């Protein structure tokens, strides 16, 4: 019986001992320390915040236009008998240049008649003056008492003769002016924009009533610059008159090269632009004529206008601004935190900050893919 007992109970005994041993091992095992894996610290580039004096810039664009453009119209009618070779589109003409002439034959005839009228009036005046003087002498010789009357001295006839001479001289001057008006003259130095006549054409009262050409001024190139109401607050003025004289820098690509010109604000137009609801500044381009070099009429130009000067402002790369009014700052323990700032101006290249930063703050200028407030970083480069 003993072997059977051993064979039956021994396996169960061994299993019991093994279970107790496992239970003891499980309950007496050492507790594993929970270790939180350290998140990787991405490298970032920073720029120290340094307050400085900053001049704001206002950007606009416009088209170069001449200060004057004139439709040339004849003052007298007649046939075109001569056209100046320089009266061609695109040619430069000086002030006083005779561009074309109208047949003056009829006006020369009229001028001769007016000269004859003046001569007759002068002769009549001389005769009446002599008669008046003779009447006064006769009155004295006759020893008559009292003063001679106006009729005795022929004063009404003398006044009529004087008026006739004055009228004849005015008619002569008018005839001379009309003869001079047969010349179509450039009123200022500029460029021919259009010529509408040919030799033999009838113009003025005798023919076509319209303009014979168009001329635009070479000096005084101007540009209308629209500026939004928000950006107008960056300009250094409190009323429309105070901005006159503000510097403007113009630029454009012409003939494959970047060109630059300097200018000044002349005035602010008194009404907003109807289409864009913008303030319109009128600026000129200094020391350059339209048509000289690369400055062309209707050229599209970019404008940089000098704005207000800010003290103790921070100028940072545009990438430093996150959203509308936040930047990332690296703390002393290499943590990345958010800072809300006051933005005075932002452009595609830079941003001007006037509040929310302190001198020496390390502002992050690297892209941050997955930002977590207080995340660890490593400063890779200080710009």
Mind listing the pLDDT tens digit for each residue in 85-99?
Answer: 999 998 999 999 999
Q: Predicted confidence band at 23 (pLDDT cuts at 50, 70, 90)?
A: low
CA pair distance 97, 72, nearest whole angstrom: 13
pLDDT for residue 1: 46
Cα angle 85, 87, 92 (rounded to 5 degrees) comes to: 105
Q: What share of the chain is helix, strand, coil (3-state, %, to 5)?
A: 25, 35, 35
pLDDT for residue 17: 66
Fold of 44-54+311-382: 2.40.420
Q: Is the pLDDT of residue 116 over 50?
A: yes
CB 77 within 8 A of CB 205: yes
pLDDT for residue 302: 92
Q: Based on C-alpha coordinates, what's the Rg of the chain? A: 48
Cα angle 308, 311, 315 (rounded to 5 degrees) comes to: 85
Residues 28-57 have a mean pLDDT of 75
Tokens representing 327 are: 């930047």
pLDDT for residue 29: 62
Higher per-residue pLDDT: 362 or 149: 362
State the residue for tokens 């540009």. 223
Q: Which CATH number fits domain 68-103+182-218: 3.30.70.980, 3.40.50.2300, 2.40.50.100, 1.20.120.1200?
A: 2.40.50.100
Residues 307-320 have a mean pLDDT of 86
Q: Is the pLDDT of residue 115 over 50?
A: yes
Partners of 381 in beta bridges:
45
CA pair distance 265, 9, nearest whole angstrom: 112
SS (H, E, C) 335-361: EEEEEECEEEEECCCEEEEEECCCCCC
Residues 264-288 have a mean pLDDT of 85
Tell me which of 53-67, 134-148, 156-170, 342-356 is least confident: 134-148
Comparing C-alpha atoms, which of 355, 331, 356 is closest to residue 44? 331
Residues 36-44 have a mean pLDDT of 72
Q: Is the pLDDT of residue 206 over 60?
A: no
Comparing C-alpha atoms, which of 262, 253, 263, 264 is closest to residue 296? 253
Residues 153-169 have a mean pLDDT of 84
With the C-alpha atoms ordered 278, 284, 289, 292, is the resulting torsion angle positive or negative?
negative
Q: What is the mean pLDDT of the chain?
A: 82
pLDDT for residue 208: 57
CATH class of the domain comprising 59-67+220-309: mainly beta
Domain ranges of the chain: 44-54+311-382, 59-67+220-309, 68-103+182-218, 109-168
pTM, two decimal places: 0.67
């Amino acid at each position: 019986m003993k072997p059977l007992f051993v064979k039956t109970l021994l396996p169960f005994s061994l299993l019991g001992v093994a279970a107790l041993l496992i239970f003891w091992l499980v309950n007496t095992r050492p507790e594993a320390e929970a270790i939180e894996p350290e998140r990787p610290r991405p490298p970032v580039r920073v720029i120290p915040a340094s307050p400085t004096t900053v001049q704001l810039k206002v950007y606009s664009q416009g088209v170069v236009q001449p200060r004057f453009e004139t439709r040339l119209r004849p003052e007298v009618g007649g046939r075109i008998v001569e056209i100046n070779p320089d009266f061609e589109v695109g040619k430069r003409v000086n002030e006083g240049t005779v561009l074309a002439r109208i047949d003056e034959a009829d006006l020369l005839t009229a001028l001769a008649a007016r000269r004859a009228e003046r001569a007759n009036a002068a002769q009549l005046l001389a005769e009446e003056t002599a008669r008046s003087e003779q009447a006064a002498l006769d009155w004295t010789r006759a020893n008559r008492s009292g003063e001679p009357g106006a009729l005795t001295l022929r004063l009404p006839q003398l006044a009529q003769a004087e008026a006739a001479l004055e009228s004849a001289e005015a008619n002569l001057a008018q005839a001379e002016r009309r003869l001079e008006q047969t010349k179509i003259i450039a009123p200022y130095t500029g460029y021919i924009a259009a010529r509408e006549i040919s030799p033999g054409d009838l113009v003025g009262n005798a023919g076509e009533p319209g303009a014979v050409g168009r001329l635009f001024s070479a000096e005084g190139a101007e540009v209308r610059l629209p500026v939004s109401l928000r950006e107008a607050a960056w300009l250094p003025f409190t009323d429309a008159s105070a901005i006159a004289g503000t510097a403007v820098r113009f630029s454009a690509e012409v003939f494959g090269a970047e060109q630059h010109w300097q200018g000044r604000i002349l005035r602010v137009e008194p009404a907003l632009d109807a289409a864009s609801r913008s303030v319109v500044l009128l600026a000129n381009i200094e020391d350059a004529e339209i048509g000289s070099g690369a400055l062309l009429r209707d050229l599209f130009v970019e404008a940089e206008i000098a704005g207000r000067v800010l003290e103790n402002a921070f100028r940072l790369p545009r990438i430093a601004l996150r959203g509308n009014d936040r930047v990332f700052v690296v703390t002393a323990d290499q943590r990345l935190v958010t800072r809300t700032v006051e933005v005075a101006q932002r452009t595609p290249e830079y941003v001007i900050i006037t509040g929310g930063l302190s001198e020496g703050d390390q502002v992050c200028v690297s892209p941050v893919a997955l930002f977590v407030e207080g995340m660890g970083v490593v400063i890779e480069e200080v710009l």
